[in-house]
Amino acid sequence: AQTVTQSQPEMSVQEAETVTLSCTYDTSESDYYLFWYKQPPSRQMILVIRQEAYKQQNATENRFSVNFQKAAKSFSLKISDSQLGDAAMYFCAYRFGNEKLTFGTGTRLTIIP
């Protein structure tokens, strides 16, 4: 079974600084999808960034980028120029084909003004 591990229950970063959230996963598949979702206090699930495993190029969305290391099964999220609105729970997720999403346990990110 696929598992997703987020080893940092909580992280904090100074406003305008950069922070990296860690995620590792376990799978025997070679082609799959990886996602980072943000869940603010409203509890709405917001897609931050996505990555296809067959693509070597790391995905980037404005201030958000990933470091995808397929061999190491690692998928970390880097947030640059952190803003107060970035404060939220961040969940790493894995999906194989059309199957269900498997979520990590989450990292609570606090932004220090």
Partner 1 sequence: GAVVSQHPSRVICKSGTSVKIECRSLDFQATTMFWYRQFPKQSLMLMATSNEGSKATYEQGVEKDKFLINHASLTLSTLTVTSAHPEDSSFYICSARDPGQGLQPQHFGDGTRLSIL
Binding residues for partner 1 (CB under 8 A): 33, 35, 42-45, 47, 50, 52, 91, 95, 98, 100-106, 108
CB of 88 to partner 1, least distance (A): 13
CB of 16 to partner 1, least distance (A): 27
Task: Closer to partner 1 by CB, 48 or 111: give it.
Answer: 48
Q: Distance (Å, rounded) from C-alpha 48 to C-alpha 101?
A: 15
Rg (CA), the chain: 13
Q: Distance (Å, rounded) from C-alpha 7 to C-alpha 23?
A: 7
Residues 19 and 11: beta-carbon distance below 8 Å: yes
Task: Closer to partner 1 by CB, 13 or 49: give it.
Answer: 49
Contacts of 100 (CB under 8 A, 6+ apart): none
Task: Closer to partner 1 by CB, 59 or 111: give it.
Answer: 59
CB of 15 to partner 1, least distance (A): 24
